[in-house]
Structure 1
Amino acid sequence: MHRESTASVIARQLRTAIMERALQPGAQLSETALSAQFGVSRGPLREAMQRLVQEGLLRSEPNRGLFVIELDEADIRDVYVARAAIEGAAATMIARARVPAALRELRAACDAMSDSLQLGDPAALSDADFRFHDVLVQCSGSRRLARMHQTLIVETRMCLTALEGTYQQPLELVEEHNQIVDAIESGDVKLTIKRVEQHMDEALRRLIHAEDDDPGYV
C-alpha cells in the first residue's frame, strides 16, 4: 500500500490553510512557526513549500522568503479560463467514454447540491458545488488534469473571498450543473463543452459583479 510522504501531507495541509484563509493572501511563511505547528523538521517542510511555489500558490522573494499569493481581478479571470479548459476536457473524456459509474457519481453530486438547497444551507451548497467539480475531473481518469485542477480549486476558494462573490439564485446554480451532466450523458461533445464554458462564464460574472458577501459558488 502506498504511503503518503511527509512532504505531501504538509503540502496538502498548507493548501487547505491557504484555501481556508488560515494563511492570508500576502502572508509571509515562517519556517520556525510552521515546523512547530506541524511537528516536523524543516526538510520536509521546505520540500512541501517548494511544491506550492511550483504550483503558484506561494511566491518567492529574494532575501525575504515565501509569501502566499494575492489574486487580483485579472488573476481571477485567468483562473476561470484555466478551469474551463480543464473541466471541459474532463467532461469531454467522460462524454466519449460513456461510463455509467461516472454518470452515477455526477448525478449523486448534483443530488447533494439539491439536498443542500432544500435544507437552506448555503455553506453545504457551496461545499457540494466544489465536490461536483472535483468529481467531474476525477471521473475523467486523467491524473494530470486532476493535479492541475487541485491547484485551481484552491485558487477558486481564494477568489471567492478575494472579492465579494455570491450567487443570488441557487436554484439556477443546481440546474446549471444538472445541464452539464445531461450534456455529458447525451454524448454530445460540443454541447458538453458549451455547457461547461457557459457555467464558468456565469460563475465568473457572479463572482466579479456580486455586491453581497454571502458564500460564493463555483
Structure 2
Amino acid sequence: MSTQPARTQPVRSPQTEQGVRAVHQENTLAQKAYRLVRERILKGDYPPGAALSRRRLADEFGMSLLPVAEALQRLVNDGLLESRPRVGTRVRTPSRDEVKDRYLLREALESQSARLFAERATPKDKAEILRMAKHLDHLYACCDGSDTDHEFRLSVRVYHVKFHLRVAEIGGCALLRQSIEREQDLLFSWLSDTAAQVHPLPQRYHSELAEALCSGDILVADEAIRQHIRYALDELLKIAYQPNGTRWRMAPKSAR
C-alpha cells in the first residue's frame, strides 16, 4: 500500500476565481463581437471604406470597449479592417494593385487545390462537385438583374465559396483549404460592394470548370481554374475601378 500523501488541488482564492471568470467572459464577448462584425462585413452591411466606432459597437452589443477593441484588432490581423492613427478603424478598401495581388495569390492556391483534386477525387467526389457546379450555375442564372434580392445574392456567394472549399477539402490538404478560406473571406467582403453590378456569367460557367476538374488530367484542371479566377478578376476590376484608375469607385459610408 502506498505511503505517499495524496495530491491535493491548489485552492483558489475568491479573488482568483473572480479574475478567471472575468477573463473568460471577456474572451467570450470578444469572440461574439468578432463574429458579429465579421458577418456584417461579409454580408456587405459594412462595405469597403465604412468607418467603425468602437463605442457605438460596444453600446449596440451591450459590452465594454475592451472585447470590441480585441475583436476589431483580430479583424485587422485578418485583413478585413484597417486602423490608422487619427483616422480610426475602417473596413479595408483595396487598391487596384492589391486586388490583383490577392487574385494572383488565390490563383496559386486554387491551382494547387485543382491539381490535388484531379489526382485524388473518387467517382463519388466527382459526382458531388458536378452536382454542386450545376446548382451554382442555376443560382447565378437567377441573379439576372440589379433588383435581385440582396439576401439571395448573399446566399449565392456563400454557396460559391462552399463549392471552392469543397474542392480543396477533397484535395486533402487542410492547410491549403484554410488558406483558400482566408483569401475567400477577404475577396468576399470586396465583392459584397459590387455584387449587384456583376455581369451575367457565361452559361455552364461552373459546370465546365467542374468537368475539367473531374477529367483526371492535372494540367487540364490547372488551366481551367486559372482561367476561372482570371475571368473573375477582370470582371471585378471593370466594376470596382474607373478605366485605368487605381481607387475603389464605390463610395465609402459609415457603418449602420
SS in 2 for 1:186: coil
SS in 2 for 1:139: helix
Question: CA separation of 1:114/1:179 partners in 2, compared to 1, >3 Å: closer, same or farther?
Answer: closer
Contact 1:31 1:45 in 2 (8 A): yes
Structure 1: distance between partners of 2:51 and 2:223: 40
Deviation at 1:115, TM superposition (A): 3.3
Question: Is 2:214 aligned against 1:167?
Answer: no
TM-score by length of 1: 0.76
Instruction: Kindly name which structure, 1 or 2, has the bigger radius of gyration based on alpha carbons.
Output: 2
Contact 1:113 1:128 in 2 (8 A): yes
Question: Is 2:237 aligned against 1:208?
Answer: yes
Give structure 1 stretches of 5+ with no counterpart: 212-218
Question: Is 2:221 aligned against 1:188?
Answer: no
Please list the CA deviations of residues 107-159 of structure 1 after superposition, one character each: whole Å capped at 9, or x if unmatched: 232122233256x3443655543332232234334333333333322332343
Question: CA separation of 1:38/1:94 partners in 2, compared to 1, >3 Å: closer, same or farther?
Answer: farther
Q: 1:57 aligns with which of 56, 75, 80?
A: 80
Contact 2:51 2:89 in 1 (8 A): yes
More helix, by proportion: 1
Please list the CA deviations of residues 7-64 of structure 1 after superposition, one character each: whole Å capped at 9, or x if unmatched: 4443333222122232232233222222233334444333322221112111121354
The one of the two structures with greater contact order (alpha-carbon pairs below 8 A, sep at least 6) is 2
* Residue of structure 1 equivalent to 2:96: 73
* Residue of structure 2 equivalent to 1:153: 184
Question: CA separation of 1:178/1:66 partners in 2, compared to 1, >3 Å: closer, same or farther?
Answer: same
Structure 1: distance between partners of 2:166 and 2:221: 16
Deviation at 1:202, TM superposition (A): 1.3
The one-letter code matched in structure 2 to 1:167 is H
Question: CA separation of 1:40/1:208 partners in 2, compared to 1, >3 Å: closer, same or farther?
Answer: same
- Number of equivalent positions: 204
Deviation at 1:97, TM superposition (A): 1.6
The one-letter code matched in structure 2 to 1:198 is Q
* Residue of structure 2 equivalent to 1:38: 61
Q: Percent identical across equivalent pairs? A: 25
Contact 2:137 2:206 in 1 (8 A): no
Deviation at 1:195, TM superposition (A): 0.6
